[in-house]
Chains A and B, each alone.
Chain A
């Protein structure tokens, strides 16, 4: 911890002398404190907490009343809503709290009841019911309603839960599901763009709870138009202004600006309006009404007048997010005029076009927001259903009074939520939203892959589009999204990962901020004329994309707002920034903004001092205290742009406003594992980010309790000798995935070409790279309608020996396999049999059964680790078996270092053949030096030095990005301990016994074993199954398929002229079929008889591929006759 040269730059000493600031070397200590409250997966949890505690109440508040058309006196009002603690209904009316792990094991959903308090009328009575369940909400692990919330490690252990598991996912039908962070363009903001014709347009995506609309201001032949989906054609802007009540052309012009350039560019638009002879609001409304697309109302559609429709359109559809109070469109008019103004100014070159890929213009949608969208839709549907029921039931004369509670069914909400989360299909009807792949199964290959998945950001862009803009690295991504961690291939640059310190905001109430702004001297737009709005000294003030007003002293406003925020009078996550070009102050309090903490610098001095850090060390300060004390604050991307942030203390000058906490936090979780990543070629870090997720090791402290479909574990995982701060922060050392192998960088035997590795057999014997592969097999015993059920029988006995038959050898007396047994291919795991009759009750005969055993399939035998007998939600028996294989590394298994250097085992050499150094140490792995020059992974070289120095000193060294232990220090350690300064040893060949002619770079490097293993892939077949339709060999290893002689291979053989080989490969060995062909008509016959010619005279037998015969028949069925023309071969 102490050995950490803060700055690797050469000239830091000079700065240190001139700077009075005492060293803030341990400011990284803020990080673990930060990670306790924010960052990593906390944004998922925060957003979900916000949803179940705040947002859900708002949704209910907005949809609180259900009225019926049938009875004006009848009503149903929601008073409150509440999401409870997760539980499970064990049997009728018996519920009990449940742990997430139980849900995982029993294939259940970890969900809690949603209860409402309602007030409704029953007959003439007014009834209040409290705690009425309306459905079940899947609960995010570690959220405020989760049983894990606020528990300590011991309590976690009791619940079979890993304390390092990040949470933030759902358990849905026993499967862990993550709602990926969705990145999208920010709502309710103007985006000025240039189209292909070089014309400037301004678009706004408006989004409210009710509606999502899009408005574009475009130019056509010098005129400005409003484009909107509900309109049949583009609407001249002046018409819209007039319809909004601004009838005078002068007022319109003043709203846009009375600058000469503006006026000359806008004049044609005014003229156009004149030409259309629209002068009054009424005329304009009529005109707009005539252009509005009529909705095909399904039922109960009331036709309204054109002006009403125009009014409605103006109020709710056009720029839906700008509020219209009492049909006063003024603020909307101002907004529209601003859009036009921006287009003109951009056209004139006074403003720049906006960047769509800029992260200030992006919002992240998190689990809470997405579930909230879904829930609101469901809740509305739930209420319309209730209304429908009320409408239908109330008029009917009935004995009992109509009680709506009887009709409140839980399954609509429960099933839809479960279904959405388990399939990932997000269907929100009212926004016409249909998204696929929103959720993914949490990858539990390793701890890192699970953690990496929680920080993944998915872009809404189409993956097939070949545009580079959204894929390339954006400068505004700095510190927010990891620059290294992105997949290769089609999703490259579209799927990203959060950096270590990124936090994503949740919605903050707008009203108090608005009030505060007015108190700080912002003048309300409603009070101002166009001329005043655009006056030269005024700055417009925007709050979440809405115009609030104008201020004369923007500096003071921004200063005061920031001051108040730092002192806690304003929410921490409200961002304030000035845009001098736009002459506006933007204030954002909406959710989904990326932000990260910075140390505040005042008068060239960071406010955080070493005393503060000292207090932090002693546990007297938390991150919260730093925030409250105004020492540290969160900046979002927009505000970051408005600040002057120093990378470290030495770079602070008089302009600096903030100081970076630690530069390595700009990397994400996966890239944080790489030692010395700043010395590597950048694609190598990207490769490692992808491979770190495939490395096997440990997945959690509860790994032995889990029954996953596939789980890879290392028998002897080790913590890396060279670690980084990130590794410590994310507890990778406690849940490692890899081993420190002694490697020798040298050529050996020729079995090491193309990155192949040579392993030491003795190391493998002693447990290097040994792994456990767990798979599960499950069996459900059902109960059927006729009271019959699946049964499990004990093992069948051999008639002679009275011992179980071979297939049943592994079975216990209860017919389920015994834990600890070894099972081989085709041996039975559960001796299940199903009743033949499942629908009809037949009392005379005892039910007949058919054997449907669940048997083991696989070429390599497995051990039974454990058997779970339980029941799932449908109350059917559930038997889960965990099967285990232990594998030692073999030829072809894949290994990789932490620098994107993967390779397969090319040879496993005897220990005595391996080279050894003067101390007798021989390497575990030999790596070919050709791996270095083209890959330029200098970080790996440094890692070796660091590990070697760490090994001789018995301590861990750091390879933290942009820091880490200095090479000179490490080399000094080596030479002090009698090793070569450069890490090169004199090695002796184990084969000849002579010294090697070169010094060999030799030392420990952390190696990961990747999940790709030969036994899972090896495949060969001689004869085997064939597909039913084509009679060709099946495809794929899992179906014991053939190996295809493909088109290109075929081409080679054609080129070579090996026609008989081709015939054999493509027909004889594949789907040869004998057909009878009539030589006269050329059609296929049968049994030496041509049905068309009614003769067998010219029928000949020949061999063609079955697929060919099939084609002929299919063509025939489509009324196309393929005729085969036959000739004796000697007459050709």
Chain B
């Protein structure tokens, strides 16, 4: 006992010290890990989301260097195009702050100019559709034209020029089909031109417009009005360049939006019956099943990308604590659907150009302000 006593006293002391260091070290690493987690991931909890905000500026966390580093940014920033065709495009934008990513979305919706019918001159409309409603419907028809070739029209200009206005015409009259059988009840058989489609709109080139482009509605099968024999629509239209901010008809995208890349972490091994249950909690293809070392079925995450974040797993008490759902804060899965003639990639690059112009003009303003300040001093 006596021999043991000093030992007993010493060892704990040393141990304590050792433990302190160890705790400090683990604290440090776990803190780092935690901060990293907070910086880059938002967590989907059962009732709410946490860490949704961007902390991508210096001084957000003590002991963490968040200073802007353009080299770091360049090395991190990536754009990956997932799929693209002339109507729709999906791409990943990785390593950028939400505000910038959102700026592109906002610009795409509201600030990329397009051409749309703005003025409707009604010469005759004997259909059941009211003049204003007809004009409204015509306005919403997307036109297949590159708005970059045109200028904005002056507000006081009523005529328009070849540089800023497209002239269109819709002239249609419904008649009885003389060759229809007498007992026909189908309006398609009984009448001619009883449906007015966007394809019936005719472009009248103005000046040298026909050399530059060819204008027609993007879709030929948009139903504008239904007619009956004797009804007639005779309108002339002017399409001008405009911004989605002013009216939704000028918005070039059906939708432009993004979502964050989901991330699923299995906190513990999930085996046995739970595997199938887990699989059913996510979109197909998210959770895979593999044979593990113990020859059991074990669940693993194949790809969280497809998950719709329905959080179904939280409804299963046995699985709830074994899964962590989060999203990568700087990984934006963009999807842009073009509504007008331009391809979505063109629209995106347009939006980037617009943002750049804005930045440039902002910088210019700043310079001017600085100059002015200098002048006054």
| Interface footprint category on B | 35 or more
Interface 1/0s, chain B 247-276, versus A by CB < 8 A? 111010001111110000000000000000
Q: Which of B50, B132, B283, B309 contacts A997 (CB under 8 A)?
A: B50
Report yes or no: B99 in contact with A993, Cβ–Cβ below 8 A.
yes
Report yes or no: B309 in contact with A920, Cβ–Cβ below 8 A.
no
Report yes or no: A986 in contact with B309, Cβ–Cβ below 8 A.
yes
A514 at the interface (CB under 8 A from B): no
Report yes or no: A994 in contact with B48, Cβ–Cβ below 8 A.
no
The B-contacting residues of A in range 702-727, CB under 8 angstroms, are 704, 715
Report yes or no: A992 in contact with B98, Cβ–Cβ below 8 A.
yes
Q: Which residues of A contact B101 (CB under 8 A)?
A: 993
Q: How far is the CB of A396 from chain B (nearest CB, A)?
A: 64
| Interface footprint category on A | 35 or more
User: Could you say which of B53, B310, B311 has the most chain A C-beta atoms within 10 Å of its C-beta?
Assistant: B310
Interface 1/0s, chain A 985-1010, versus B by CB < 8 A? 01010101111111100000000000
Report yes or no: A886 in contact with B52, Cβ–Cβ below 8 A.
no
Q: How far is the CB of B213 from chain A (nearest CB, A)?
A: 26
Q: Which residues of B contact A996 (CB under 8 A)?
A: 49, 52
A404 at the interface (CB under 8 A from B): no
Report yes or no: A986 in contact with B44, Cβ–Cβ below 8 A.
yes
Report yes or no: A762 in contact with B251, Cβ–Cβ below 8 A.
yes
**For the complex, what is the distance from the CA of A823 to the CA of B245, rounded to whole Å?**
30
Q: How far is the CB of A995 from chain B (nearest CB, A)?
A: 4
Report yes or no: A886 in contact with B256, Cβ–Cβ below 8 A.
no
Looking at A763-771, A775-783, A1077-1085, the stretch in contact with chain B turns out to be A763-771
B194 at the interface (CB under 8 A from A): no
Query: Given A767-B136, A820-B122, A863-B131, are A993 and B310 neighbors across the interface (CB < 8 Å)?
Result: no
Report yes or no: B257 in contact with A920, Cβ–Cβ below 8 A.
yes
Q: Which residues of A contact B50 (CB under 8 A)?
A: 997
B109 and chain A: residue at smallest CB distance? A912
**For the complex, what is the distance from the CA of A886 to the CA of B133, rounded to whole Å?**
8
Report yes or no: A997 in contact with B256, Cβ–Cβ below 8 A.
no
A918 at the interface (CB under 8 A from B): yes
Q: How far is the CB of B224 from chain A (nearest CB, A)?
A: 13
Report yes or no: A978 in contact with B310, Cβ–Cβ below 8 A.
yes
Query: Given A884-B130, A990-B106, are A765 and B247 neighbors across the interface (CB < 8 Å)?
Result: yes
B237 at the interface (CB under 8 A from A): no
Q: Which of A765, A770, A980, A998 contacts B49 (CB under 8 A)?
A: A998
Report yes or no: A918 in contact with B308, Cβ–Cβ below 8 A.
yes
A911 at the interface (CB under 8 A from B): yes
Report yes or no: A920 in contact with B136, Cβ–Cβ below 8 A.
no
Report yes or no: A990 in contact with B102, Cβ–Cβ below 8 A.
yes
Q: Which residues of B contact A766 (CB under 8 A)?
A: 140, 248-249
Report yes or no: B110 in contact with A912, Cβ–Cβ below 8 A.
yes
**For the complex, what is the distance from the CA of A992 to the CA of B52, rounded to whole Å?**
11
Report yes or no: B52 in contact with A981, Cβ–Cβ below 8 A.
no
Q: Which residues of B contact A820 (CB under 8 A)?
A: 122, 125, 131
A50 at the interface (CB under 8 A from B): no
Q: Which residues of A contact B251 (CB under 8 A)?
A: 762, 911
Query: Given A886-B133, A978-B283, are A762 and B248 neighbors across the interface (CB < 8 Å)?
Result: yes
**For the complex, what is the distance from the CA of A981 to the CA of B315, rounded to whole Å?**
9
**For the complex, what is the distance from the CA of A918 to the CA of B310, rounded to whole Å?**
11
**For the complex, what is the distance from the CA of A920 to the CA of B88, rounded to whole Å?**
13
Q: How far is the CB of A989 from chain B (nearest CB, A)?
A: 8
Report yes or no: B257 in contact with A919, Cβ–Cβ below 8 A.
yes
B105 at the interface (CB under 8 A from A): yes
A975 at the interface (CB under 8 A from B): yes
A173 at the interface (CB under 8 A from B): no
User: Could you say which of B49, B125, B335 has the most chain A C-beta atoms within 10 Å of its C-beta?
Assistant: B49
B42 at the interface (CB under 8 A from A): yes
Q: How far is the CB of B21 from chain A (nearest CB, A)?
A: 38
A979 at the interface (CB under 8 A from B): yes
**For the complex, what is the distance from the CA of A715 to the CA of B106, rounded to whole Å?**
29
**For the complex, what is the distance from the CA of A290 to the CA of B20, rounded to whole Å?**
120
The A-contacting residues of B in range 71-111, CB under 8 angstroms, are 98-99, 101-103, 105-106, 109-110
Report yes or no: B133 in contact with A997, Cβ–Cβ below 8 A.
no
Q: Which residues of A contact B337 (CB under 8 A)?
A: 920
Q: Which residues of B contact A387 (CB under 8 A)?
A: none
The number of A-B residue pairs with CB atoms under 8 Å apart is 116
Query: Given A916-B257, A981-B312, A992-B102, are A998 and B48 neighbors across the interface (CB < 8 Å)?
Result: yes
Q: How far is the CB of B374 from chain A (nearest CB, A)?
A: 35
Report yes or no: A886 in contact with B132, Cβ–Cβ below 8 A.
yes
**For the complex, what is the distance from the CA of A111 to the CA of B142, rounded to whole Å?**
53
The B-contacting residues of A in range 745-796, CB under 8 angstroms, are 761-763, 765-767, 770, 772
B128 at the interface (CB under 8 A from A): yes
**For the complex, what is the distance from the CA of A525 to the CA of B236, rounded to whole Å?**
89
Report yes or no: A980 in contact with B310, Cβ–Cβ below 8 A.
yes
**For the complex, what is the distance from the CA of A1080 to the CA of B133, rounded to whole Å?**
73
B195 at the interface (CB under 8 A from A): no
Report yes or no: B130 in contact with A920, Cβ–Cβ below 8 A.
no
Q: Which residues of A contact B173 (CB under 8 A)?
A: none
B54 at the interface (CB under 8 A from A): yes
Report yes or no: B48 in contact with A999, Cβ–Cβ below 8 A.
yes
Q: How far is the CB of A768 from chain B (nearest CB, A)?
A: 10
Report yes or no: A995 in contact with B260, Cβ–Cβ below 8 A.
yes
Interface 1/0s, chain B 278-313, versus A by CB < 8 A? 000001000000000000000000000000111110
Q: Which residues of B contact A770 (CB under 8 A)?
A: 133, 136
User: Could you say which of A772, A884, A912, A975 has the most chain B C-beta atoms within 10 Å of its C-beta?
Assistant: A912
Query: Given A981-B312, A992-B102, are A999 and B47 neighbors across the interface (CB < 8 Å)?
Result: yes
**For the complex, what is the distance from the CA of A1056 to the CA of B261, rounded to whole Å?**
62
B327 at the interface (CB under 8 A from A): yes
Report yes or no: A912 in contact with B106, Cβ–Cβ below 8 A.
yes
Query: Given A715-B133, A979-B310, are A704 and B99 neighbors across the interface (CB < 8 Å)?
Result: no
Q: Which residues of A contact B327 (CB under 8 A)?
A: 995
Q: Which of B103, B130, B140 contacts A772 (CB under 8 A)?
A: B130
A865 at the interface (CB under 8 A from B): yes
Interface 1/0s, chain B 31-72, versus A by CB < 8 A? 000000000001010011110111000000000000000000
B334 and chain A: residue at smallest CB distance? A920
**For the complex, what is the distance from the CA of A229 to the CA of B225, rounded to whole Å?**
70
Interface 1/0s, chain A 883-915, versus B by CB < 8 A? 010100000000000000000000000111000
**For the complex, what is the distance from the CA of A988 to the CA of B257, rounded to whole Å?**
10
**For the complex, what is the distance from the CA of A316 to the CA of B323, rounded to whole Å?**
90
Q: Which of A763, A920, A974 contacts B335 (CB under 8 A)?
A: A920
Q: How far is the CB of A569 from chain B (nearest CB, A)?
A: 46
User: Could you say which of A820, A863, A921 has the most chain B C-beta atoms within 10 Å of its C-beta?
Assistant: A820
Q: How far is the CB of B194 from chain A (nearest CB, A)?
A: 16
**For the complex, what is the distance from the CA of A992 to the CA of B101, rounded to whole Å?**
10
Report yes or no: B309 in contact with A910, Cβ–Cβ below 8 A.
no
Q: How far is the CB of A928 from chain B (nearest CB, A)?
A: 18
**For the complex, what is the distance from the CA of A772 to the CA of B249, rounded to whole Å?**
21
Q: Which residues of B contact A761 (CB under 8 A)?
A: 248
Q: Which residues of A contact B130 (CB under 8 A)?
A: 772, 863, 865, 884, 886
**For the complex, what is the distance from the CA of A999 to the CA of B136, rounded to whole Å?**
36
Q: Which of B48, B248, B256, B315 contacts A765 (CB under 8 A)?
A: B248
B103 and chain A: residue at smallest CB distance? A993
Report yes or no: A912 in contact with B105, Cβ–Cβ below 8 A.
yes
Query: Given A767-B136, A886-B133, are A994 and B52 neighbors across the interface (CB < 8 Å)?
Result: yes
Q: Which residues of B contact A992 (CB under 8 A)?
A: 98-99, 102
Can you list 7 A-B contacts with CB-CB less than 8 angstroms, sorted by A residue number?
A762-B251, A767-B136, A918-B308, A978-B308, A995-B260, A998-B48, A999-B47
- Other than A911-B251, A998-B49, give 18 A-B pairs with Cβ distance below 8 A: A762-B109, A762-B244, A762-B251, A766-B140, A767-B140, A886-B130, A886-B132, A910-B245, A911-B109, A912-B110, A916-B257, A918-B309, A974-B310, A978-B283, A988-B259, A995-B49, A997-B48, A997-B50
8 shortest interchain CB distances as A-B pairs: A993-B102, A920-B257, A765-B248, A978-B308, A762-B248, A886-B132, A920-B255, A993-B98
Instruction: Name B residues whose Cβ lies closer than 8 Å to a Cβ of A.
Output: 42, 44, 47-50, 52-54, 98-99, 101-103, 105-106, 109-110, 122, 125, 128, 130-133, 136, 140, 244-245, 247-249, 251, 255-260, 283, 308-312, 315, 327, 335, 337
